[in-house]
Structure 1
Amino acid sequence: MSIQCTIVPVTPYQQNCSIIKCQSTNKAAIVDPGGDVERILEAVEKMGATVEKIILTHAHMDHCAAGDVLRQQLGVKIEGPHVEDNFWLEKLPEWCKMAGFPHADAFEPDRWLDDGDTVTVGEQTLQVFHCPGHTPGHVVFLYRPQQVAWVGDVLFQGSIGRTDFPRGNHEELVSSIRDKLFPLGDDITFIPGHGPTSTFGQERRTNPFVADEKYG
């Protein structure tokens, strides 16, 4: 069996919150719930899914601010990101206030993730890659059987993540993309944190920030 994925753009930042459902069990994971809880839950219901966990690529508010609310409401666990993003979660109330976001309490996930870990969704398994640069604790999820990855704000169609936030690092970000993601295969489709999907091959050929032509 395989997975089904529904993308729900949330928050004023139009962040791509994904719902990943294991089609053999109907169990699901919510990826990066930044806000708009009711819209997320409506999509879950429409998919006929039962949420068993929340997984986070990183701890910026537009990706995680509704995480703890959903954890409490649904009685599920939060997995991810990497522990290096803990300082973002500790200051979540301040960041939300500064950006005019709805208040969100600081929280900790039930499980921090590291490079080489796996996350299960029903009977399916996602691989975890630690890809720092946009944030120091950013992780990427790969579902190899369908060649699809959830990359948060590491890579976009035609662009890359910002590195001007606290503890962002441009060189680390480029290395995460070129040394960790691109070698996974040109045919992998990725769902970014914002905007349309693309493939690693397309970005390796044409993305002005990380293309082979620039670094070859």
Structure 2
Amino acid sequence: MESPRILALPVGQLQSNCYLISDPQTRQTVIIDPGDSADYIERIISDNHLLPEQIFATHGHFDHIMAATELKLAYNIPFLINCRDRFLVNNMASSANHFIGIDPGPPPEINSCLDREKNIKIGSHKFNIIKTPGHTPGSICLYNKNHKILLTGDTLFADGGIGRTDFSYSSQEEIIRSLEMIFTLPDEIIIHPGHGRSSTVGEEKKNHLF
């Protein structure tokens, strides 16, 4: 089976990675972490003849969801997130104003919660949902074992980076447990993080000696 196609689009002032993951055969696509620049994302979707079906967020921070409302309307598709982060979605506008001084408009309506879901499908490809709390209570990763793909959101970055845990709702203990779980995966798994370049599980193990 042909590997899912992954397009990484750094967007917004904080250069969050929005991912367009598609089935090359059917062009069925999910939009992951549309943090900003809806017009740009729509143009890439059009240029590549993709067919968006759903929007997912790895967590609820504003820089991963600010374009979700516009994209929901453009394609008439649902927005899904682990609803432990609902409070962050609801606070999107105030957070964006506080951190980067903009008004992004209303937050996206959550159409379905990922709290109890085990996987998502993108065409013929299945991605397992891995709960990785710590940076936020509802942080998740998306994992496709067959094609060695792991989307880590802001839980794990390349070059030894991890998500902030100095927010009142964050937990250093939980993110360490989440990282320990990620590091049980095979070394060759490719990490696609919420910011910055890709890496591998094996490479990041070397950077995190617990």
Calculate the TM-score normalised by the size of structure 2. 0.94
Counterpart for residue 12 of structure 2: 11
**Structure 2 CA distance for aligned equivalents of residues 67 and 197 of structure 1:** 23
Contact 1:96 1:104 in 2 (8 A): no
> Where in structure 2 are the equivalents of 1:66-145 lying within 5 Å?
66-80=67-81, 82-99=82-99, 100-114=101-115, 117-145=118-146
Report deviation, 1:190.
Answer: 0.7
Report deviation, 1:92.
Answer: 1.3
Structure 1 stretches lacking a partner, 5+ long: none
Counterpart for residue 176 of structure 2: 174
**Structure 2 CA distance for aligned equivalents of residues 108 and 129 of structure 1:** 23
Report deviation, 1:104.
Answer: 2.9
Contact 2:84 2:115 in 1 (8 A): no
**Structure 2 CA distance for aligned equivalents of residues 144 and 115 of structure 1:** 20
Question: How many residue pairs were aligned?
Answer: 207
Report deviation, 1:73.
Answer: 1.6
Report deviation, 1:69.
Answer: 1.6
Q: Percent identity?
A: 30
Report deviation, 1:116.
Answer: 5.9
Contact 1:61 1:95 in 2 (8 A): yes
**Structure 1 CA distance for aligned equivalents of residues 25 and 110 of structure 2:** 27
Contact 1:153 1:160 in 2 (8 A): yes
Q: CA RMSD for the aligned pairs?
A: 1.4
**Structure 2 CA distance for aligned equivalents of residues 162 and 71 of structure 1:** 28
**Structure 2 CA distance for aligned equivalents of residues 75 and 83 of structure 1:** 21
| Deviation sequence 1:2-28 (CA, Å, 0-9, x none) | 210111100011111110011121110
Contact 2:63 2:96 in 1 (8 A): no
**Structure 2 CA distance for aligned equivalents of residues 172 and 55 of structure 1:** 22
Calculate the TM-score normalised by the size of structure 1. 0.91
Structure 1 counterpart of 2:54, one-letter code: K
**Structure 1 CA distance for aligned equivalents of residues 22 and 102 of structure 2:** 28
| Deviation sequence 1:64-100 (CA, Å, 0-9, x none) | 11112211121001122x1110110111121122221
Q: 1:57 to 1:153 in 2, by over 3 A?
A: same
Counterpart for residue 36 of structure 1: 37
Structure 2 stretches lacking a partner, 5+ long: none
**Structure 2 CA distance for aligned equivalents of residues 156 and 107 of structure 1:** 26
Report deviation, 1:149.
Answer: 0.8
Q: Structure 1: which 4+ aligned runs deviate by more than 3 Å?
A: none
3-state SS in 2 of match to 1:125: strand
**Structure 1 CA distance for aligned equivalents of residues 90 and 5 of structure 2:** 33
**Structure 1 CA distance for aligned equivalents of residues 40 and 177 of structure 2:** 35
3-state SS in 2 of match to 1:70: helix
**Structure 2 CA distance for aligned equivalents of residues 98 and 185 of structure 1:** 39
